[in-house]
Amino acid sequence: MKFSSGQRFVIQMSAIDTYRHKGMRSQLVELLRSKGISDERVLHAIEQVPRHVFFDKAFIEHAYEDKAFQIGSGQTISQPYTVAYQSQALQATPGMKVLEIGTGSGYQAAVLAEMGLKVFSIERHRPLYEKSRKMLDSLGYRQIKTTFGDGYAGWPVFAPFDRVIVTAAAPEIPPALVEQMKPGGRLVIPLGQEEDQVMVILTRQADGSVVREDGELFRFVPMLPGKVF
Ligand code: SAH
């Protein structure tokens, strides 16, 4: 059998996803359950994705704590509870197309892929885009599409989407993201410029109007316009 270099790396990666890591993931899933996450598809996905490989070595021992951590370029990998909450709020079913704004480490994208979704993810920081692309390929998530760009414009060539998830705090709802949603589509976005932001869930109606629900408060890095090379 012939392996591409990518496939060889998958084997190395799986070798470092030990029983200890799997055990810590099971504990994390139980913690998320106790905090109110009940969507089995979300919990199963979190159980599958080796969160520690998305961490810089210095923080790897903390990968299964329910905390956010630095991933470089001044950005953070969201806290597991936040990832679970947003993933659950999407109310997505397998096969749906989901657009993510803020690839960051690629962890949230991997969780969405494990939920059976077709993932399209945009990152405005070039080094993070490149690093997350390599990581996703090495873990075998080649089906996840990522791009270096400004999420305020959405990703018109792949629109419309069933679901949109924004993983940075936006001052207001970017119109392009609503426009690129199918009727019945849901957008999950932390909104506001205060220290804490409210998780807003928008549902697009058949006539193009939207219905807004407000969820819990979270703390995200800001959604900024433009690209950083
Ligand atoms: N989902 C990520 C969390 C990343 S933190 C993960 O699982 O690791 C938020 C990310 O959003 C940062 O990487 C930041 O650079 C990115 N971001 C902020 N504004 C953006 C924009 N306008 N378009 C694309 N990405 C953006």
For residue range 151-184, what is the model confidence (pLDDT) as tens digits? 999 999 999 999 999 999 999 999 999 999 999 9
The 3-state DSSP class for residue 23 equals: helix
Q: Does residue 17 form part of some domain?
A: no
Residue type, 222: P
Ligand 1: distance of its center to the CA of 94 in Å?
A: 24
Quick one: 146 exposed, middle or buried, by C-beta within 10 A (0-12, 13-18, 19+)? Answer: buried
- pLDDT above 80 (res 26): yes
Q: Does residue 192 form part of some domain?
A: yes
Query: How confident is residue 212, by pLDDT bands cut at 50, 70 and 90?
Result: very high
Find, among 8, 1, 2, the residue nearest to 137 by Cα.
Answer: 8
**Residues in CB range of 106: below 8 A, 6 or more apart:** 54, 121, 131, 132, 133, 135, 136, 141, 144, 146
- According to the model, what pLDDT value does residue 2 have? 44
Per residue in 68-80, pLDDT (tens digit) is 999 999 999 999 9
Distance of CA 151 to the CA centre of its chain: 13
Active site residue 78: yes
- According to the model, what pLDDT value does residue 9 have? 52
Per residue in 176-200, pLDDT (tens digit) is 999 999 999 999 999 999 999 999 9
- According to the model, what pLDDT value does residue 14 have? 47
Mean pLDDT of 25-40: 98
Mean pLDDT of 119-133: 98
- pLDDT above 80 (res 7): no
Report the predicted TM-score, pTM, of the whole model to 2 decimal places. 0.94
Q: How many domains does the chain have?
A: 1
**Residues in CB range of 189: below 8 A, 6 or more apart:** 164, 165, 166, 170, 173, 177, 199, 200, 202
- pLDDT above 70 (res 13): no
Task: Give the residue, by CA position, lying nearest to ligand 1 atom 21.
Answer: 151
- pLDDT above 90 (res 10): no
- According to the model, what pLDDT value does residue 138 have? 95
Task: Give the residue, by CA position, lying nearest to ligand 1 atom 17.
Answer: 102
Residue appearing with tokens 């804490």: 196
- According to the model, what pLDDT value does residue 58 have? 82
Q: Do residues 177 and 101 make contact, with C-beta atoms less than 8 angstroms apart?
A: yes
- pLDDT above 80 (res 206): yes
Q: Do residues 150 and 226 make contact, with C-beta atoms less than 8 angstroms apart?
A: yes
Q: Does residue 93 form part of some domain?
A: yes
Q: Does residue 31 form part of some domain?
A: no
The dihedrals phi and psi of 219, each to the nearest 5 degrees, come to -125, 110
Which residues have C-beta atoms less than 6 Å from ligand 1? 71, 75-78, 101-102, 104-105, 107-108, 122-125, 128, 150-152, 167-168, 221, 223-225
Q: Does residue 54 form part of some domain?
A: no
The H-or-E segment that residue 123 falls in is: strand 118-123
Mean pLDDT of 29-50: 98
Q: Computed from CA positions of residues 214, 109, 112, 182, in that sequence, does the dihedral angle turn out positive or negative?
A: positive
Q: Does residue 153 form part of some domain?
A: yes
Q: Does residue 195 form part of some domain?
A: yes
Per residue in 85-113, pLDDT (tens digit) is 999 999 999 999 999 999 999 999 999 99
**Residues in CB range of 8: below 8 A, 6 or more apart:** none
Q: Do residues 173 and 145 make contact, with C-beta atoms less than 8 angstroms apart?
A: no
Q: Does residue 160 form part of some domain?
A: yes
CATH number at residue 134: 3.40.50.150
Give the strand pairing for 69-72 and 75-77. antiparallel
For the CA of 151, the nearest atom of ligand 1: 23
Express as a percent the part of the chain with pLDDT over 70: 93
Domain boundaries, position 202: 66-218
Ligand 1: distance of its center to the CA of 223 in Å?
A: 7
**Alpha carbon distance 128, 114 (integer Å):** 21
Considering the candidates 5, 14, 38, 78, report the single residue annotated as catalytic: 78
Tell me the H-state helices in 39-192: 40-48, 80-89, 107-114, 126-138, 175-179
